[in-house]
Amino acid sequence: MTIGRKIAATYLVFGLGAVVTCLLAPLVGSTTIDFRRVFDASVPFAENADAQIFFVARLPRVLAGALVGSALAASGVVLQALLRNPLATPFTLGVSAGAALGAMLALTLELSSGIAGFSAVPIASFAGSLGAVGIVYSLARVRHRGLSTNVLLLAGVTLNSFFSALILFVQFLSDFTQTFRTVRWLMGDLDVSSYAPLVAAAPPIALSFGAFAMLPRSMNLLSISDESAASRGVDVHRTQRLAFLSASLATGAAVSLGGPVGFIGIVVPHLVRLLVGADHRMVLPASAFGGAAFLVACDTVSRSALAPLEVPVGVVTALIGGPFFLWLLIRHR
């Protein structure tokens, strides 16, 4: 099979998988609905309970899962290549900790007035993630040259612990309700209950995906070494900047929409590599689609497994992802 055919097949198979998952997931839930009735045009929407459950109650949530899962998985791929470390995640470089700090401050201070119709918590968390990205980026920028991946990693890890310490400190000072809300946010929640948050998160994610589209061939070489890449003609510094900033933007937007849902950014890329190999022209799109399908599936489990109780989706992904991550560690020695 030629490389072109393999790329096309990857888009087709994984794309189809994602679409089918997104169409099936809204049918599952505490109330059973009928697929044919949902799309039955003869019944007016106002009287079609099945269609209302499908389009109003469940589809926004499924699409949020698809958007978050796809952004986190694709960002994971990009950061793993940038850091040449298959165990890197979208949260390695401090983006999620910044987002969590922002969200927690908004929750604790009970900020209610949003900007332009968007609520305060996602805005605060997005701002927090951008702040973290700014700090890490400016630390890692070597004069006249590219990004130091060592500094990126160290700054990111340090920022993660520092922000976590700040979060704990504020938690210590806050009352029980606020603490509970923050903890709940940290577990991840895709219950968006309308299309508005999706509309807010989509543009930055789309922008990042546009940048991702330009990266795969350069990332193949960058994942070998900066020197090899430069000698093959890759503009290493530009690629590094583009990779870091776009992956961080997508992660920040995804976290502000669904909370820091863990393990997607590592589980999905690794499963995908087992299936399609390491070429980023296959890994990146397959992970984007696969991440969407994976998170939508996990969220379906989370809202239906113990219905009417809802297991936070971050708990579900962690229960699957944790053991998987350990298996990877052992496998990589």
Partner 1 sequence: MSDPCLTVERASFAYDAKALVLSDVTASVSRGALVGILGPNGSGKTTLLRLLAGLVSPLEGRVLLDGTDMRTLRRRDLSTRMALVPQETQLAFEYTVLEMAVMGRYPHLGAFEIEGPDEIEVARDALRQTGTLHLESRWFNTLSGGEKQRVVIASALAQLERRLREPFSSESGEEGSRNRFSEILLLDEPTASLDLAYQLEIRSVLARLNESRGLTVVVSTHDLNFAAGLCRELILLDRGRVLAAGLTDSMLEGTLIRKLYGVEVDITTNPRTGRPTVVPVARAPDAHLS
Give contact residues for partner 1 (rule: CB under 8 A): 2-4, 7, 80-81, 84-86, 214, 217-218, 220-221, 223-225, 227-228, 230-235, 273, 277-279, 281
Least Å distance, CB 231 to partner 1, is 4
Least Å distance, CB 4 to partner 1, is 4
Our CB check for partner 1 shows the closer of 277 and 323 to be 277
Pull the structure tokens for residue 229: 């890449």
Q: Please report, as a single letter, which amino acid is at residue 312.
A: P
Q: Please report, as a single letter, which amino acid is at residue 150.
A: N
Our CB check for partner 1 shows the closer of 4 and 44 to be 4
**Cβ burial, residue 330 (10 Å; 0-12/13-18/19+):** exposed
Least Å distance, CB 227 to partner 1, is 5
Least Å distance, CB 73 to partner 1, is 16
Our CB check for partner 1 shows the closer of 220 and 300 to be 220
Least Å distance, CB 280 to partner 1, is 9
Least Å distance, CB 207 to partner 1, is 18
Q: Are 225 and 65 in contact (CB under 8 A)?
A: no
Least Å distance, CB 203 to partner 1, is 23
Counting every residue written for the chain, the total comes to 333
Our CB check for partner 1 shows the closer of 146 and 252 to be 146
Q: Annotate 237-256 with three-state secondary structure.
A: HHHHHHHHHHHHHHHHHHHH
Our CB check for partner 1 shows the closer of 6 and 181 to be 6
Distance CA(225)–CA(34), nearest Å, equals 53
Least Å distance, CB 164 to partner 1, is 27
CA nearest to 328, candidates 69, 88, 54, 154: 88
Our CB check for partner 1 shows the closer of 36 and 143 to be 143
Phi, psi for residue 15 in degrees, rounded to 5: -60, -45
The phi-psi region of residue 142 (left if phi > 0; otherwise alpha if psi is between -120 and 50; otherwise beta) is beta
Our CB check for partner 1 shows the closer of 149 and 160 to be 149
Our CB check for partner 1 shows the closer of 66 and 215 to be 215
Torsion of CA 222, 226, 231, 234, to 10 degrees: 50
Helix ranges, the chain (H)? 3-24, 35-38, 49-52, 59-83, 95-108, 120-140, 149-173, 176-186, 196-213, 216-222, 226-232, 236-258, 264-276, 280-304, 313-332
